Structure 1
Amino acid sequence: MAPTLRETLLDEAYQLFLREGIEANSEEQIAGILDVSPATFREMFRDKADLVLQTIQFEIDRQKREHAALFAAEPNAIKRLLSLLEIGIRDLRKVSPQYITDVQLYPAAWDLSLQHLAEYSGPMMHQILNDGVLQKMIRGDINIGLVTKIILEMVNLLLNEQVFPPSRYSIAEVYRSIYLYYIRGLCTDEGIQAASAHFARM
């Protein structure tokens, strides 16, 4: 099914924000870049803040579809976990450091991002860890709730520009360094063997 005009505009706007940040262009400039008239823009988005909010929701929905397809194809919990890590690294390589700073200027969009982390990413991670323990891919002596919390809190560490200034660190490389070795430490010998191909290419 071909994307609708709204979906096309949301995808193009999101890619623009990732490349240049949100504040690099005014609402009028964004409409020009998207090649829509101001009237058409206003029909779809109340203002720039509404556009930012809708792009976040659009990306969340896309991520959920990608995760559903991944999980349908891969029953192994540790491979699921490492595939999510690969997706995260891939996505973060597209992100301008300015985007992370700018999106926090839009409270509704930032709150939606945090809500998604708490209500979707948290339960998903908890389930994957639990499945990994049952499959004997992840150590059985871990506190699943605590490990889930640690993994989510690492996102805050990753986004803390005081700790990892974007001028000095690649956000994708920080993400890889934070998560890859921690996840490896959660694995049983069987889990490490099952995930060896992932570890080798990451």
Structure 2
Amino acid sequence: MPEISEPRPEGEQPRSIRLTDPRALRAYAHPLRMSLVGLLRSIGPFTATRAAELTGESVASCSYHLRILAKYGLVEEAPGGRGREKPWQATARYTEWPEYSEDASVAEAADALSAAVAERYFERVTRAMENRHRLPREWQEAEQFGDSLLHLTPEELTDLGERINALLRPYEGRESDASLRPEGARPVSILRIAYLDQEIPDSEEE
């Protein structure tokens, strides 16, 4: 079953939900389900009818996928529903899953989900690059696109990730509380991808 990674104070959405069930991992890997969760986190709550308008899918399809997401704890019914038009909301701001597992079924499902998410990242970045010429100059100059090749130990890479997360945390509250956003603030996606580059052979100093 999904695990809420932090306690949930009354009325406050938890930071993240952790998926460890292979069935939940496989369910979340569906492109439309990832889109629905992402939209609920950024502009929700909303109904299946609104979800259909946002995604271009049918109401029946969105309703079905929202129910699947609810089954695995990623979304839930929001207050204020009337009749069959019930609104949905995300249960957490982020989704986490194991980077490593001794359980082969969990490891396989987690790797498949990571691959699906990476493909989604690539598609979104490609669209952003295609449309960035429409942005004001200050946004084009502020955007970042590049990579770094570092020689690190596993412990150093873990520490680097924790420090990057610490830098980003002060800005997280702005997603759910618009009053915290300064004038001119707009939604910015920041990708954090670090992997052992096996295409570059290890070299040892003599």
What TM-score, normalized to structure 2? Answer: 0.34
More strand by share: 2
Question: Does 1 or 2 have the higher relative contact order (CA < 8 Å, sep 6+)?
Answer: 1
What TM-score, normalized to structure 1? Answer: 0.34
More helix by share: 1
